[in-house]
Amino acid sequence: MRKWGIVCALAASAALSACVQTKQYADPQFTLPQGSYKLLVLRPDVHVGSLTTGGMVEPRADWTEQARTNIIAALRAQQAALGGNLTIVERRNQLPGVAEQELADVERLNFAVDQSIVLHKYLGDYLPTKRGRGLDWTLGSDAVKLGEKTGYDYALFLHAEDSVASRGRVVLGVIGLAGCIVGFCAPNVGGAEQLDYASLVDLKTGEVVWFNVVDAASQVPGIKFGELRTPEGAAQMIERLIGRMKPGQAVRRAEAVR
């Protein structure tokens, strides 16, 4: 009886150690896009794979395609509710009036800036010069030029990766759970993990005005925290990542005073 008690406690703690984490940053002066703003979504980067028994993620083209379709549909629905005018560019040559290389340069610059944001805001290498300044990064004149040429107000960059525990991985977790009976308890070998991030760039100023990361990781294979292959999972992801967008600190303070 006592043994089973430990098993349950461990299983519960393992399940609890898996969770959904999200942390967003914004420029202190950032106000939520309102009215009939024009939003450009550049090549949503989606990867969905199968988590093998041994713990590797095997990319799956069909699941990725499914997830991409779901995410775009969810994003359209979410933006339509806000009144945003949305354009999704899937290929670098699809934006009229902008050369492929020009768009590629903006994308690459954004990627480098995003990496810097992740390093200095999320991974612990905090910069004293940016303390208390919210999100203080910019893509500079290239982004402004893109805005002038195309007439868009904002650019949204979106990355989503998800893995689905394979049957073998679930079996491995089950063996680990069964082992608890004999005192070798290892159900938390690691299950599906979803990692999404998005950055919003103001094309009038070139500044990265808002950034968010969602990490939904499960330690126990078989337990899920959202799945991009389904329309509901994709809608949940868009809600977690973009739906709960908050204005910058200064703006929120001003609103609180009012």
Determine if 90 is a binding residue for another protein (CB under 8 A): no
Choose, by CB under 8 A, the member of 147, 176, 191, 221 that binds another protein: 176
> How far is the CA of 182 from the CAs of 4, 7, 179, in angstroms?
11, 10, 5
Determine if 182 is a binding residue for another protein (CB under 8 A): yes
Residues 185-204 that bind another protein (CB under 8 A): 186, 189
Show the site string, 53-82: x = touches another protein by CB under 8 A, - = not. xxxx-xxxxx-xx-----------------
Reading phi first (left if > 0) and then psi (alpha if -120 to 50, else beta), residue 49 is in beta
Q: Residue 36 or residue 93: which is nearer to another protein going by CB?
A: 93
Q: How do strand 137-138 and strand 207-217 relate by DSSP bridges?
A: antiparallel
Closest separation between CB of residue 62 and another protein, Å?
A: 7
Q: Residue 168 or residue 231: which is nearer to another protein going by CB?
A: 168
Nearest 5°: phi and psi at 195? -130, 120
Can you give the binding site for another protein, defined by CB under 8 A?
Answer: 45, 47, 49, 52-56, 58-62, 64-65, 92, 100-101, 104, 168, 171-172, 175-176, 178-179, 182-184, 186, 189
